[in-house]
Amino acid sequence: MPDHPEPPAGSGPTPAYEEFVRLFVAHEGRLRAFVRALLPTWADVDEVMQETSLVAWRKFARFERGTNFLAWVATIARFEALDHLRRRGREQLIFSDAVADLMAAEAAQEADTLEHQRRALDHCLAKLGEAQRELLLLSYQPGARLHEVAARTGRTVQGHYKAVQRLRARLLDCIEGELKRDPA
């Protein structure tokens, strides 16, 4: 029986459900990357993520507030991924549990490293002026074309390219400094 029964129709989400959704969404990207390291296809990842969210919600009443939600839900995801692989094992060759455990440990470490780097990037982007951030965001948005962004910002293509290169070098120096100051 689930720890969280469905609320009566029309009563709206419970505070526990809202808290769960906030936590799950905040960590979904890192959790998805972790699960992807364990599974061969994105379709498998989608299936395991869906099952993980359901199991995590059913067990959410047992989650100890103030502890690491990502570690808690990643443990659930790991077991769901292994169960998924076992079910698929009847269809095809799969990794042994020892290899899957090793992959899970490495995926968790990689997710932590990427999150640390993302925080450093966010910190360094915040140090840039608004016009500089806007220039970078325009340059790296999906489908951006160098000549169009240059014209939009009033620069020549070469001038735009050089400005972006300088900003990238500045960001790289800042990020490397941040990572040295606060190693993961």
In a shared domain, residues 168 and 86: no
* Residue 155 is assigned to a structural domain of this protein: yes
> Which residue type occupies 3?
D
In a shared domain, residues 11 and 63: yes
> Which residue type occupies 169?
A
In a shared domain, residues 9 and 72: yes
In a shared domain, residues 23 and 102: yes
Residue-level pLDDT at 183:
74
Quickly list DSSP for 94-133: ---HHHHHHHHHHHHHHHHHHHHHHHHHHHHHHHS-HHHH
* Residue 117 is assigned to a structural domain of this protein: no
Distance from C-alpha of 164 to C-alpha of 157, rounded to nearest angstrom: 11
Q: Are 75 and 56 in contact (CB under 8 A)?
A: no
CATH classification of the domain holding 94: 1.10.1740.10
Written as tens digits, the pLDDT of the chain (184 aa) is 445 555 555 566 788 889 999 999 998 988 998 888 888 888 999 999 999 999 999 999 999 998 889 889 999 999 999 889 888 775 554 556 666 666 667 766 676 777 788 888 889 999 999 989 888 888 888 888 888 888 988 999 899 889 989 998 999 999 899 888 887 6
In a shared domain, residues 17 and 92: yes
Residues 6+ apart with CB under 8 A from 7: 13, 14, 17
Residue-level pLDDT at 90:
54
Distance from C-alpha of 17 to C-alpha of 63, rounded to nearest angstrom: 13
Q: Are 111 and 34 in contact (CB under 8 A)?
A: yes
Domain that holds residue 172: 128-184
Residue-level pLDDT at 11:
62
What residue has token string 């070469």?
Answer: 158
CATH classification of the domain holding 141: 1.10.10
Residue-level pLDDT at 135:
87
Q: What is the pTM of this model?
A: 0.51
